[in-house]
Structure 1
Amino acid sequence: MADSPLLAVPGAVPAEGVDAGVPAHYGNPIVEQRDLERGLALVDCSGRGVVRVEGPDRLSWLDSMASQSLARLAPGESAEALFLDAGGHVEHAVHVLDDGVATWLVAEGGDADALGSWLDRMRFMLRVEVSVRTDEFAVLGTAAEDPAALLPDGVTAAAPNDVPLVWRDPWSHVAAGGYQYATDPEHPAAEWRWSEVLVPRDALRALAAAARTGSVRMAGSLAAEALRIAAWRPRFATEVDDRSLPHELDWLRTAVHLSKGCYRGQETVAKVHNLGRPPRRLVMLHLDGSDTVLPAHGEVVSAIKQLPEGEQERRAVGTITASGLHHELGPIALAVVKRAVPDDIALIVESHDIDVAASQVAVVPSGAGAAVEVPRLPRLGARR
């Protein structure tokens, strides 16, 4: 995918890593973050991929494979879904929007082609057609209540079937059929407002021209990531690896319907939720900002274990998935750690040859799981 035209806006600094190809910021990421949070700015998410599924069997077909209930998705209604392997591990994550004729899936840019190919192989004899449309459509993100109001003259949301393609993130509440592991009564997702607008890709040039004149406010990917981290919102490109289960990321909130019909990986989802415990768990970290170090994706999170002899031993317990500088919280990060790590233990992040102290907030508590109480059977031969 070619670099975004927004990188030609004066002051634009290119992003690195999973958001390479779009601006990380335009000179002042903290101001941009405040503008974004207030619903005054757009984010160039044109690095994301777009897959279109059309045909009369599309919704029932997607429903049979996805973790979310999609069979009755109404035109203009938004949903989030995962495609899992047979062991319940996350293989693809999509933002889903139907326009009455076609279903649109927004995926990470690096995953869209693989997702499109996999879906195409799964069509069999059903009346569906799959096409990757990333070259034709780009994604813009915003926290505005009315995303269309931020678009400059000449730029409108794509509406190929007279339904504007605007996906609204369901993360602000537990979706129907979902389940929340987080126990914090003031879940930060309650303040999370995020929408993704599909526009024709050639409209990015008009958007860049408007940004140059100041008629539209833009925020970079750093602003969006900091707000996402503060909302405990998982993202496929950062929080997911080849072992990830939805439970570990509290993704049952919005991406899994626990009462829908059979789909690949459902047995593991149900078993872990009802009888087991996620082997790992997501935490948010408040980082010591003394050394002005923001850890990178994949860097090691450690804990100090007290040994019986009174000595201490440092042990790796997880990895950083994403980090950012929040305008109120300061340096923060998301990390995936082992389930057995106590919720209240202090952690250390090893970054740039510096030990960064970190205090954790449990997104998925160490005691999460086993939602169904299984009656204990009496021992054989025991008197009653």
Structure 2
Amino acid sequence: MSWQRTHRPASRGSNDERHVMMSDPFAGLPGAVVDERGLRHLGNPLGEQRALASGAAVAPLGDRTVLAVTGEDRLSWLDSLTSQALTALAPGESTELLVLDPHGHVEHAASVIDDGETAWLIVDRGDAEGLLSWLRKMRFRLRVDPRDAGDEYAVIGGTSAALDAVAAAAPADVPLVWHDPWPGITAGGYGYAVVEQHPGADRDWAEAIVTHAEAQRVADAAAAGEVALAGLLAADALRVAAWRPSWSAEVDERVLPHELDWIRTAVHLSKGCYRGQETVAKVHNLGHPPRRLVALQLDGSDSVLPSRGAAVRVGADVVGAVTSAILHFEEGPIALAVVRRGVPVDAELTVETDAGTISAAQEVIVPPEAGATANVPRLTRLSRRAPAK
């Protein structure tokens, strides 16, 4: 099976999703470029990145949606089904979870915040239907009621301070603002990246669940020049630069959380049994994941970026595939890719693009020794590029 085929194609969205995007309150703003995922940019993607990173703008996340789980057993139930320890999750506390298949492969992912009455799951829009369907099948006789809350709520992202300008929903008097724990190592987690300074260490990212009326208010405020907005391209660039995996980009049908360094925030290694837990433990304690996530600094024209699934090669051999590629306002063209574990960390890589082959400098995220390892030497990051003009 080729590397290109193992990666899930980008979701095109259902007819209902296209209708939602067509009625997007941000679509009519000056310079807005909107597709089925939502607001891509407003004419200045690099400037929007800078504003978003500094807290001067917020980003409507049309590619994200909301599921809600009510019922007295909701946290213990989710705890028993997923990779995260949730039984003691306090109201307002942020975490994330993975749903794994019996062999430990990632099937679904969700950001989680509970308000004392409801567990709110922020998920990639393309994953929502499948995750909700699976959760409903797993209810048995427990007191839980998962539902799609996308018709009630939207999601807006930005720094914690920037989101002060947004009125987060608070149906149980707890503001529904999820603070991304990445790249910290949460309780029960483990980090494989061995750089001296993780590139996401200074990243401040949060996502607010808002009513659609509030999303419209933010759009009106942006039209009046009272609120600055950034598009999905800006949000994705900051994510890629922070080596932050996402379900829609980095997950395929074979991926293990170890391969993406996702154990640091989404897996609790010492919690009770759940589906896929045996594989997670074996790979972490006894073996090595067969593939590993790397960051790529891409050479060539800044206007040429590889597509998702583009082949990564060592010489003539295909050794992996690009999962995300973006033009960053400081680092220039960058990408994330999943490659074979055995690819040497100093290997000269090339990446296929529509304009031809370009070279790619590899930065190690998950080292080949990840898994059954003691002390892996820390690495120095590649020097940052001059800011893009």
The TM-score, its normalising length taken from structure 2, stands at 0.89
1:174-253 paired onto structure 2 within 5 Å: 174-253=185-264
Q: Are residue 96 (structure 1) and residue 107 (structure 2) matched?
A: no
> Which secondary structure does the structure 2 equivalent of 1:120 belong to?
helix
Number of the residue aligned with 1:135: 151
* Pick aligned residue for 1:293 from 296, 304, 307: 304
Number of the residue aligned with 2:94: 78
Tell whether the 8 Å contact from 2:39 to 2:62 is kept in structure 1 after alignment. no
Number of the residue aligned with 2:71: 55
Give the % identical residues: 54
Number of the residue aligned with 1:5: 25
Shift of 1:202: 3.1
* Pick aligned residue for 1:44 from 40, 48, 60: 60
**Which letter does structure 2 place at the counterpart of 1:44?**
P
Deviation per residue, 1:205-252 (Å, 9 max, x gap): 222111111100101111111111110000000000000100000000
Tell whether the 8 Å contact from 1:49 to 1:111 is kept in structure 2 after alignment. no
Query: Hey, what's the Cα distance between the residues in 2 that align with 1:110 and 1:77?
Result: 25
Deviation per residue, 1:123-174 (Å, 9 max, x gap): 101111111111110000102x3344222xxxx1111111110000000311
Number of the residue aligned with 2:294: 283
Tell whether the 8 Å contact from 1:170 to 1:254 is kept in structure 2 after alignment. yes
Number of the residue aligned with 1:171: 182
Q: Are residue 266 (structure 1) and residue 266 (structure 2) matched?
A: no
Query: Hey, what's the Cα distance between the residues in 1 that align with 2:326 and 2:283?
Result: 31
Shift of 1:40: 1.4
> Which secondary structure does the structure 2 equivalent of 1:214 belong to?
coil
Query: Hey, what's the Cα distance between the residues in 2 that align with 1:339 and 1:324?
Result: 24
Q: Are residue 150 (structure 1) and residue 165 (structure 2) matched?
A: yes
* Pick aligned residue for 2:135 from 114, 119, 137: 119
Tell whether the 8 Å contact from 1:147 to 1:197 is kept in structure 2 after alignment. no
Shift of 1:47: 2.9
Tell whether the 8 Å contact from 2:157 to 2:163 is kept in structure 1 after alignment. no
Query: Hey, what's the Cα distance between the residues in 1 that align with 2:100 and 2:327?
Result: 32
**Which letter does structure 2 place at the counterpart of 1:235?**
S
Number of the residue aligned with 1:33: 49
Q: 1:163 to 1:48 in 2, by over 3 A?
A: same
Query: Hey, what's the Cα distance between the residues in 2 that align with 1:149 and 1:49?
Result: 20
**Which letter does structure 2 place at the counterpart of 1:236?**
W
**Which letter does structure 2 place at the counterpart of 1:119?**
L
> Which secondary structure does the structure 1 equivalent of 2:330 belong to?
coil
Gaps of 5+ in 1: 305-313, 374-384
Number of the residue aligned with 1:378: none
**Which letter does structure 1 place at the counterpart of 2:307?**
A
Tell whether the 8 Å contact from 2:302 to 2:332 is kept in structure 1 after alignment. no
* Pick aligned residue for 2:325 from 311, 318, 323: 323
> Which secondary structure does the structure 2 equivalent of 1:273 belong to?
helix
> Which secondary structure does the structure 2 equivalent of 1:277 belong to?
coil
> Which secondary structure does the structure 1 equivalent of 2:108 belong to?
strand
Number of the residue aligned with 2:344: 342
Number of the residue aligned with 2:81: 65
Deviation per residue, 1:38-87 (Å, 9 max, x gap): 11111111331211111111100000011011000000000011000000
Tell whether the 8 Å contact from 1:49 to 1:110 is kept in structure 2 after alignment. no
Shift of 1:303: 0.9
Deviation per residue, 1:333-366 (Å, 9 max, x gap): 0000111101111111111041111001011012
Gaps of 5+ in 2: 1-16, 376-389
Query: Hey, what's the Cα distance between the residues in 2 that align with 1:8 and 1:294?
Result: 28
Query: Hey, what's the Cα distance between the residues in 1 that align with 2:267 and 2:216?
Result: 37
> Which secondary structure does the structure 2 equivalent of 1:281 belong to?
strand
Tell whether the 8 Å contact from 2:302 to 2:327 is kept in structure 1 after alignment. no
Deviation per residue, 1:84-107 (Å, 9 max, x gap): 000000010000000000100111
Tell whether the 8 Å contact from 1:92 to 1:236 is kept in structure 2 after alignment. yes
Alignment RMSD (CA, Å)? 1.3
**Which letter does structure 2 place at the counterpart of 1:344?**
D
Tell whether the 8 Å contact from 2:302 to 2:333 is kept in structure 1 after alignment. no
Q: Are residue 109 (structure 1) and residue 111 (structure 2) matched?
A: no
Shift of 1:13: 1.2
Q: Are residue 160 (structure 1) and residue 171 (structure 2) matched?
A: yes
Kindly tell me the number of residue pairs found equivalent between the two proteins: 355
Query: Hey, what's the Cα distance between the residues in 1 that align with 2:39 and 2:302?
Result: 25
Query: Hey, what's the Cα distance between the residues in 2 that align with 1:166 and 1:319?
Result: 34
Number of the residue aligned with 1:87: 103
> Which secondary structure does the structure 1 equivalent of 2:220 belong to?
helix
